[in-house]
Structure formats: structure tokens, C-alpha cells
Structure 1
């Protein structure tokens, strides 16, 4: 099972919606139910201003304190410490709802770098293994709420730095979505993010790896549009969460600037030791050019760059050049043989 949670991070937003949309278990049947494929996905599209992760039917959020609401669990501790807190689950429907509560580690999805959490049956290695709730299951009355104590026991050998995760409230019911030959069931969940920092040395480190440029263009120059797709890996090699920025610059012959832009399709936050493969489209890329494409990634106290060569030559031009070269070589060989006969 894959829990996928993508969207708003502190100080930055990649989705306009304030909701938590959540994934699905699929049951396939061909007239008679033969087998089932079960999977669950958790996708956070954003968080309301009040701070609650919400899917319209229920919400999950840190318990309110005397100082007001908290958008997420922001915690810090020394190795070996024990933290206590509380999580609230609120039912917004007219029916009682029962939820399974659990903690999970977070990671970045490979496809777009979204904030995701491990499935309950996956091995948890960080805050997902350290955090427990007093109850594994809770039933919340209509339009009511339940607050449950949370305990986080940090191991003595916990690594310094950030340990992100979430407290998840999962509705284990599978709602049928289709009564036809292929039935799809939806299982919903909502999670409140945990941002836990273990005190100690921090090391921000960001790199850009494996830059590649793929170019497509018309056979005859000027008869169509050309484009290039630039792909690269953005890697957080440190132990703290980063909010990266990536700048793209392409230069042609003699240092001419062909393209310069700040990229937008990047993760709002890149978690420690996570990497994502990203792409950027370059519309109208030159059809005849030789140069370099450089990507520069920066975040707090770290900056790295990497480059790849860019070479554009239309097939028709290449064919003409090949014919000219072949013809020239043929004439040179013929002239050389003629000189030998004369001698």
C-alpha cells in the first residue's frame, strides 16, 4: 500500500485546495468476484487556515492549547527523551464514525516530490515507530470530537535532524463506488503532519544529479516547433528538511543566453535523504545550436549546480552535411589516385 500526501508545506503552497483527498482500495469482479486488489492512498492537498487536515467528513489536528490552534505538530527533543501531546479527531457528519489511529514516517514521492506517508503495514523507522496513541481505534459521535493522548519515545541513538511523519485517522470501511462489472471501493484517511527535530548537529546539503536533455524538432528547419525536455534528480543529502529553489539557464555558442528561468514544478519541501526525479519542458528550443544547460539548486545554507551539453542539429541539415562530407571525401580520394597515376 502507498500513502501519498502532497501539497502545502509551511510557507509555501503547491495546491490551492484546502482538503485531504484520500486514496482507494480496488475490488475487481468479473460477474462473480474472483479476486481483489487492495491498496490505500493518502493525499494531502492542503491545510485550512485553522490547521486541521480535513476531507470534508472529518478532520485531524493537534489538540488546541491555551495559546491557540496549531497547524501541525512542531516538536523538538533530545535523544532519549519522551514527549507527550494530544491529537483531536472531529466528525463532521450526521453518523458515528470509527477510525484506526496510527503514526507513519513521511517521504517524498518519486513522481512529483509530494509529501507522503508510509502505509501502516510498512516498516516504520523514525517518528512512525516512536509515536503511539493511547487507543488504536476511536468512535466519534455525530458532529463530535475525540481527543487522544500521544506519546513519542525518542531512542537514545536517534540521529539529529528532522524526522517528519503524520498521525493518521483511517476509516477502515470500504465504500462501494460502482456496482458494475468492475467495482471500485474507496477507503479514506486524514493525517496531521508531525515535524519532529532531534537536537544536535544539522547539515543542510542539496545536490543536482544526472542532468539530461532530450530534444525533438521538425525534419526541415523552420517548418514546425521544437522542444527540449530537461530531466534531473534533486537530492537532499542532509539531515534537515529543505525548501529548495531551482534556477535553469541555457547558454549557446559564445556564451549567448538562450533561456533563464526559476523553476516552479519542484517540491515545496524536500525531506532529509530523499530524492526526486523532475522534468522541465523547454518550448521553442533552438533547432540549430550547441551549448550547455545548467541547473542550480539552492536552499538554506546550501547551493549546488550541475550541467549537461545541448546540441541541436536538424536531420535534414545533418543529412546534407553528411552528403557534402562524403562527396568531399570521394573527390579527395579520386584526386589522390589521379596524382598517383600521373606520378
Structure 2
């Protein structure tokens, strides 16, 4: 972390899961709060804020912010965009990064809100969908933030930005394209010292959401040798939900794969969809897998036979001793 002067910044974020998200900063045990989807009359049991709208439409919704502390808290509240991390997780943009999607369409009546101790405040917000908004899913969050200056053990002052958010999923009406793609498949094969054990094949594949709906899926790998002979098969690898444009790299290790000079791996990913069954996508590649232990044994046998043959030839050409 780059520190300028005596004050550094640290941002921590909790995103709403199927229970009200909450935060309790270490070093500030009296600062605790939770956030959840709500209405003008209070929470309605939703896990996330999931809405549908047409281009040009304006929506209104609420987030409930509950102060679980013993003193009033002042929150900065704003909308931002979401993205898929490298490991397939849902995340929101850093506070310093300006949103360009659903977060930029989100507006609140104020920037800062004070919530008394042990009290919930239901905060209204609106989403104004642009007339030229692209169809499909747009993900983001309504963030509540408290920035506090804290002092580390070595005396360094750090500005801690504690953020808790409610997820927002907005589907804009129009043509939807639910599509996953396997961009790349990479194979690595490591031969075992014991030929009977087979080797270890590592299969790494990149799954990319090239459509406009958030999608998850299930991955399967089939390993074959010469003439399509099946040597191994996996299944049930869960592909996490990917936002449009998001991708994740999946790695599987398969043990006991016999080296048959040339191995092929075919990867299938079957997308999971809310409304319809989608066709699986697949991609294949191959890797050389030389049975070096067997080659060494055969080489040793061949060498032994050659040596025996040479010795017999030499014995057959020895001159007969004179009488």
C-alpha cells in the first residue's frame, strides 16, 4: 500500500448475502450496522434488490440501514457498479472508481444520513434507466459507508472506509442473449514414477459470459486416449454466477491417467438459466503423455537383446584352433 504523508486509506466492503449484511470494524467495536432490501414500511424478506424495467423507465426502491451501535452513526450512501472478480466472486467497484452502469443510474435524496442508536432507517432511492440502455442484466449495489481514522500498532494513522452494501440486479427489457463460452483449455501432464499409478493431468479452462444475462453452470471434463478410448471423466464442477462480461478460470486435477503417448481432454460447461434450458458449450485440446517408465523398460530389454546378439555373432566368427 502506498502511503502519502501521515494518512493512508483502507477500504473494506461487505456485500449483502441472503441475510442482512453487517459490519463491526476491529478497533471500533461500538460501530455496528446492517443493510438489507426494504420498503417504506420496513424489510420485506428479499435477499437482493431484483427489478425489471424498460429503457427510459424510473424505479423507486428502499434499503434498510439498521444502526446496531449504542451511538448515532453518520453514513455516506451511494450507488455503484458490480463486477466479477478473477475467482468468480461478486464485487463492487472501489469507492474512488466512478460507476458507469446501474450505479450511475442510481440516485438518493441525500449523500449522508444519520441513523440513531439501535434504530433502522429505510432510505428511498431511484434508478432512472436511460432510453438507450442495453438489454439484459445490470448489477450493482447501494453502498453505506463510514470512514474512520484509526491508529495502527506502530502509530501509523489509517483512514478505514468500512462499507456494507445491498446487491442490486436490474434487468432491462429487450433481446436477451444467455451465452457462456469456453475461451481456452490448457493441459499439463506429469508422469508418475510407478507406471501402474498413471499420471496427473491438470486441466485449466477459462469460462466467459459473453451474453447479457448473469449465468452460472456446471463443468465436466472427459479424458481420452488413442481411438477415443475414455480414460477418465469428472463432473459436477460448479461454475459460479458470472455477470455479463465476467469470466473465471477453473482448474481440475485428475489422478491416475495412464500415459498413452497422446491424450485429449474435452471440456463441457452446461449453463444454468432461470427460464430455459441452454445448450452446453465445449472445447477440446490435447497433450503429449509419453510413458517414459515403459519406454525405459523396453529400451533396457532392447539393449539386452542387442548385446546378446552381438556376443553370439562374435562367438560364431572365432577362428577354430589348429590341430
* 8 A Cα contact 1:27 1:36, kept in partner: no
Alignment-derived partner of residue 312 in structure 1: 289
1:261 aligns to 2:242 (yes or no): no
Change (3 A) 1:322 1:91: farther
3-state DSSP of counterpart to 2:11: coil
Q: Which has the higher strand share?
A: 2
Tell me by how many angstroms 1:233 deviates: 1.0
Larger deviation: 153-162 or 272-281? 272-281
* 8 A Cα contact 2:176 2:212, kept in partner: yes
Tell me by how many angstroms 1:43 deviates: 4.6
User: TM-score if structure 2 supplies the norm length?
Assistant: 0.78
3-state DSSP of counterpart to 1:254: helix
Match of 1:188 among 162, 168, 172: 162
Alignment-derived partner of residue 123 in structure 1: 98
Larger deviation: 248-257 or 222-231? 222-231
Change (3 A) 1:311 1:238: same
Tell me by how many angstroms 1:257 deviates: 2.3
* 8 A Cα contact 1:171 1:188, kept in partner: yes
Structure 2 alignment gaps of length 5 or more: 25-31, 303-323
Change (3 A) 1:76 1:285: same
1:153 aligns to 2:128 (yes or no): yes
Larger deviation: 131-140 or 203-212? 131-140
Alignment-derived partner of residue 17 in structure 2: 46
1:179 aligns to 2:153 (yes or no): yes
Structure 1 alignment gaps of length 5 or more: 1-25, 326-343
Change (3 A) 1:44 1:63: closer
1:282 aligns to 2:254 (yes or no): yes
Match of 1:90 among 66, 72, 80: 66
Superposed, 1:167-316 pairs within 5 Å as 167-176=142-151, 178-180=152-154, 186-218=160-192, 220-222=193-195, 226-267=199-240, 269-299=241-271, 300=273, 301-315=278-292
Looking at structure 2, the residues matched to 45 and 155 of structure 1 have their Cα atoms a distance apart, in angstroms, of 26
RMSD over equivalenced CA pairs, Å: 3.2
Alignment-derived partner of residue 56 in structure 2: 80
Larger radius of gyration: 2
* Count of residues paired in the alignment: 292
